[in-house]
Amino acid sequence: MADKQKPKLRLSPAERRSLLEDAACACIARGGIRDFTVDKVVAEAGVSRGLITHHFGSMDGLLAAVYSRMYHDWLTVMATPRPGLSRIEAMIEALVSPALFGREVLKIWLTLWGEIAINPVLRDTHRQLYGDYRASIMLALSEAAHANGRQIDAETVATAFICLIDGFGVQRCVEPALLSEEEARAACWAFLRPYIGDQGVAVR
Amino acid sequence: MADKQKPKLRLSPAERRSLLEDAACACIARGGIRDFTVDKVVAEAGVSRGLITHHFGSMDGLLAAVYSRMYHDWLTVMATPRPGLSRIEAMIEALVSPALFGREVLKIWLTLWGEIAINPVLRDTHRQLYGDYRASIMLALSEAAHANGRQIDAETVATAFICLIDGFGVQRCVEPALLSEEEARAACWAFLRPYIGDQGVAVR
DNA sequence: GCTGATACTATACAACCGTTCAGCAAGGAA
DNA sequence: TTCCTTGCTGAACGGTTGTATAGTATCAGC
């Protein structure tokens, strides 16, 4: 409050775009796609109505930017190595970490999925980005299976695993109390154990 | 087309409500929550604008009706016994059947989840109905595990299994080509096998 | 300091939003 | 037939939607 002394600066396009994406995320997390409106977003960002069109061309443009930003952030967190943990362990820890498992983030994802399902333009963007996500999971799975001397159909397992993760997201959004971080982690390992073994980690 | 010769009949409230719910489902499946509007729904149903308020009080009322109708249909299909199949087998077959696994149906669910996540009233309705869903899955799991002489924590397994199913729905909506009915069935069994065994069914 | 590019504001606009309400008309009860 | 409940219509309302656009403010290059 006290530090918000009207900067009213003239920002670089990259900075302003980022601020508007932040505001859009906040609106979507609060009220879903119905709160993704010009008035709500510019009020959240503290700018004038014209800025969205100026920087993104349209609301669809802003939504696409939000989507690819979310994907980028997701992949970044997921690909961050954690000292002492194998790739698959680090990945699961990332998946249940607040940065990816937080309800606000997941509510945004849920909204975005709903839009992808009906918006062909967004679906094309999704197809391009989604490959990286899928590939990184397949890599971690293959590595883990190989380390335990097993052979798996990484593609099939990865698909089902991704579904499980997405389902966690849905469940956390509609009934957060039913699935804690701890339970999600355990469910991940229970799912993967038949394929890749225990990885020598104490799992409960 | 030819058979739509303007019946303009005066229907019973139950019939008219059902027709409006149908129309609302069609709109939501087509364009998500943004196409759930008075104009779109009444155009789809071929009635006047005032009818929604007359029968449901508000658009929120109609959405709640759509939600509970979807839940009721879902449970009905899932609880239908299939000759020669155990309860858990019948349940999985139902889950991958067109009635529940069809993309149109799943797009409606995806939209509804998004609304539940942000609408407290809808969330309360969800809590009440959701218990039945959860309970029926737990029952089937316990039964199957017991038949194979195993002991499981049905609650934990059911939660994870529900997540997997929800994730199937998400995946089918955003990228239908990646998950066929056959693959979903196989993934279900692969997930459940460690808990309840094979049930003596040929699974591939 | 001057100039031009552009970040940004603010208004205007037509279309659409959900809800209200007065009135019409169908059909059972008398 | 007459009456009255009620399914149903359609216009009207105030508010919100996304976009276009004219105008202002700021900064980089000169």
pLDDT at B8: 60
pLDDT at A199: 66
Q: Do A34 and B33 touch (CB under 8 A)?
A: yes
- Distance from the Cα of A138 to chain B's closest Cα (Å) equals 14
Give residue for tokens 């069109």: A53
Tell which of B25, B30, B35, B118 to mutate to test the A interface (max A CBs under 10 Å): B118
- CB-CB neighbours of B49 under 10 Å: 12
Question: Under a CB-based contact definition with an 8 Å cutoff, are residues B67 and B78 in contact?
Answer: no
Residues 6 or more apart whose CB falls under 8 angstroms from that of B80 comprise: B90, B94
pLDDT at B128: 87
Tell whether the model's pLDDT for residue A201 goes beyond 60.
Answer: no
Tell whether the model's pLDDT for residue A161 goes beyond 80.
Answer: yes
Tell whether the model's pLDDT for residue A169 goes beyond 90.
Answer: yes
The domains located in chain A, with CATH, are 11-57 (1.10.10), 68-196 (1.10.357.10)
pLDDT at A13: 84
The answer, for B187 touching chain A at a CB cutoff of 8 Å, is yes
Closest C-alpha to B164, from B96, B70, B67: B96
Q: Which nucleotides of D are covered by protein (CB under 7 A)?
A: 6-12, 16-22, 26-27
Q: Report DSSP letters for B175-191, one per residue.
A: -GGG--HHHHHHHHHHH
Beta strands in chain B (DSSP E): none
Taking residues A175-188, what's their average pLDDT? 96
Q: Which amino acid does the sequence have at B47?
A: V
Residue A8 — very low, low, confident or very high, per pLDDT cuts 50/70/90?
A: low
- Give the separation between CA B111 and CA B29, rounded to whole angstroms: 8
Nearest CB among A110, A130, A178 relative to B113 is that of: A110
Burial class (CB in 10 A: 0-12, 13-18, 19+), A27: buried
Tell whether the model's pLDDT for residue A204 goes beyond 70.
Answer: no
pLDDT at B3: 37
Instruction: Please give the ipTM for the structure prediction.
Output: 0.92
Find the range with the poorest average confidence among A2-11, A132-141, B53-62, B144-153.
Answer: A2-11
Q: Report DSSP letters for A76-92, one per residue.
A: HHHH---TT--HHHHHH
pLDDT at A103: 97
Residues 6 or more apart whose CB falls under 8 angstroms from that of A178 comprise: A171, B159
Residues of chain B positioned with their CB less than 8 A from the CB of A111: 114
Q: CA of B188: how far to CAs of A24, A141, B162, in Å? A: 37, 19, 10
pLDDT at B199: 66
Taking residues A126-149, what's their average pLDDT? 92
The answer, for A111 touching chain B at a CB cutoff of 8 Å, is yes
Angle at A48 between CA A42 and CA A50, to 5 degrees: 100
DSSP H/E element including A170: helix A154-174
> Helices (H) and strands (E) in chain B — how many of each?
10, 0
Question: Under a CB-based contact definition with an 8 Å cutoff, are residues B186 and B96 in contact?
Answer: no
What tokens does A20 get? 């508007």
pLDDT digits (tens, 9 = 90+) for A88-117: 999 999 999 999 999 999 999 999 999 999
- Give the separation between CA A113 and CA A120, rounded to whole angstroms: 12
- Give the separation between CA A187 and CA A174, rounded to whole angstroms: 18
Nearest CB among B126, B171, B194 relative to A162 is that of: B171
Tell which of A164, A165, A172, A182 to mutate to test the B interface (max B CBs under 10 Å): A164
Q: Which amino acid does the sequence have at B152?
A: I
pLDDT at B202: 41
Residue A11 — very low, low, confident or very high, per pLDDT cuts 50/70/90?
A: confident
- Stretches where chain B sits below pLDDT 50 are 1-6, 202-204
The answer, for B165 touching chain A at a CB cutoff of 8 Å, is yes
pLDDT digits (tens, 9 = 90+) for A58-95: 999 999 999 999 999 999 999 999 999 999 999 999 99
pLDDT at B194: 93
pLDDT digits (tens, 9 = 90+) for A84-94: 999 999 999 99
The answer, for B115 touching chain A at a CB cutoff of 8 Å, is yes
